[in-house]
């Protein structure tokens, strides 16, 4: 992608900011992440720096604290963050609930929630999935019964990222029975400190406590906390999912991961296994280049105000499947040393129960992290709507099936 002189100057400004503001601790957090989430402390520290610069939520409208950037400048910022090794901020508030509040919230809701979301005073989690409602999200059963100016909420949400440290949750709840599952659902903002809420940890295969199950037992929530219209929360949810599925470029992060992997295997001896690994990395680079060109094409159309159709679904499929492939290659490269379970040497996205944080590592750190990345990345083709669901969307939109 050829940059104009103005965009080159913007890129240099972004690079200078990262160089000045990324402390060794923040760089370490970004480098040693084992999933798509940085540890909570680093997330909040980095968001505070971005907020002070005015870059915490660049995609928001300027009047709410966003930046007047072009589509290309957003892409430059995302790519330079990856190259600099900065930890990402949590997407739940700024990249997901924030745009929904801007799009559907009342003036009172915007004035109360958005500034606190920007500053980090409010940390958010997402309450969508339930034990019986995952990809078929409209099958959700958590109830919200009207009682005067409140809803009384009862039910459970599962796979809730960082619910253990969240202040607020945006939730889909059933407020009315209907002949169609999508009807009678409301989008509700709930204070996680409300009486009747219990959070139980779910320990991932990588050893981290990132996911949780939340139980709601007669939790009172003001009706004023409904986002959009009562019983029409599905409209808000579909709007929000567009940001979750298509809100970022995959290629820059994948390219950096492939560069690091190629560098890490340089010390390995030549031989048949090394030749196969080199060939597979080269094949992944080709796929990454194709992905980058597709993302650039989408950027060009967005810059021109042209529709992108079902591109968010296509990019979600291509990006997440290639992410998984890179973790598979890293696991192959790590070899037998990857068999050791060493979550304590990394900077995981949450606490590691029953494992101490340690500087000792059997092998090199990248070899210890490789299986953790692999295990975490198994979820990427499931969250934000499974890739099977995305293929169904593409078939309906493009093939008219």
Which residues are known catalytic residues?
Answer: 244
Cβ within 8 Å of residue 394, ≥6 positions away: 310, 313, 314, 317
Question: ∠ CA(79), CA(85), CA(90), 5° rounding?
Answer: 80
Tokens standing for residue 318: 């291509």
Q: What is the DSSP letter of 305?
A: T
CA end-to-end distance (rounded Å), the chain? 34
- Please state, in angstroms and rounded to a whole number, the distance separating the CA atoms of residues 88 and 243: 16
- Please state, in angstroms and rounded to a whole number, the distance separating the CA atoms of residues 213 and 231: 24
Q: Report the phi/psi class of residue 231: left, alpha or beta, with left for phi > 0 and alpha for psi in -120 to 50.
A: left
Residue found under tokens 């957003």 = 74
**Among 169, 164, 174, 212, which residue's Cα sits nearest to residue 189?**
169
Per the DSSP assignment, residues forming a β-bridge with 235 are: none
- Please state, in angstroms and rounded to a whole number, the distance separating the CA atoms of residues 273 and 280: 11
Half-sphere exposure of 188 toward its Cβ, with a 13 Å CA cutoff? 30
Half-sphere exposure of 260 toward its Cβ, with a 13 Å CA cutoff? 21
- Please state, in angstroms and rounded to a whole number, the distance separating the CA atoms of residues 333 and 335: 5
- Please state, in angstroms and rounded to a whole number, the distance separating the CA atoms of residues 47 and 96: 15
């Amino acid at each position: 992608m050829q940059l104009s002189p103005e965009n080159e100057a913007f890129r240099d400004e972004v690079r200078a900011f990262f160089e000045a503001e990324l402390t060794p601790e923040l760089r370490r957090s970004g480098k040693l992440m084992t999933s798509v989430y940085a540890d909570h402390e680093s997330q909040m520290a980095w968001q505070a720096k971005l907020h002070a610069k005015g870059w915490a939520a660049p995609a928001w409208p300027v009047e709410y604290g966003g930046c007047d950037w072009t589509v290309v400048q957003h892409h430059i910022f995302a790519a330079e963050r990856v190259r600099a090794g900065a930890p990402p901020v949590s997407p739940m508030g700024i990249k997901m609930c924030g745009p929904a509040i801007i799009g559907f919230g009342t003036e009172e809701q915007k004035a109360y929630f958005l500034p606190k979301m920007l500053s980090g005073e409010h940390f958010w989690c997402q309450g969508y999935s339930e034990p019986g409602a995952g990809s078929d999200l409209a099958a959700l059963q958590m109830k919200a019964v009207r009682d005067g100016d409140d809803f009384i909420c009862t039910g459970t949400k599962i796979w809730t990222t960082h619910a253990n440290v969240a202040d607020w949750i945006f939730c889909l709840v059933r407020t009315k029975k209907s002949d169609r599952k999508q009807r009678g659902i409301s989008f509700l903002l709930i204070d996680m400190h409300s009486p009747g809420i219990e959070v139980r940890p779910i320990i991932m295969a990588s050893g981290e406590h990132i996911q949780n199950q939340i139980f709601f037992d007669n939790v009172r929530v003001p009706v004023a906390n409904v986002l959009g219209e009562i019983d029409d929360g599905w409209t808000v949810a579909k709007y929000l999912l567009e940001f979750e599925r298509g809100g970022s470029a995959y290629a820059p992060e994948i390219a950096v991961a492939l560069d690091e992997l190629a560098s890490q295997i340089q010390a390995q001896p030549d031989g048949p296994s090394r030749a196969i690994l080199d060939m597979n990395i080269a094949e992944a680079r080709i796929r990454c280049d194709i992905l980058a060109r597709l993302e650039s094409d989408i950027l060009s159309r967005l810059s021109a105000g042209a529709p992108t159709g079902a591109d968010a679904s296509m990019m979600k499929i291509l990006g997440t499947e290639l992410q998984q492939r890179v973790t598979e290659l890293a696991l192959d490269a790590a070899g037998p040393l990857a068999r050791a379970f060493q979550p304590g040497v990394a900077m995981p996205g949450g606490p590691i129960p029953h494992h101490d944080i340690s500087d000792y590592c059997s092998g090199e750190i990248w070899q210890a992290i490789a299986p953790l990345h692999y295990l975490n990345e198994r979820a990427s083709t499931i969250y934000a709507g499974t890739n099977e669901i995305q293929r169904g969307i593409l078939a309906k939109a493009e093939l008219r099936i």
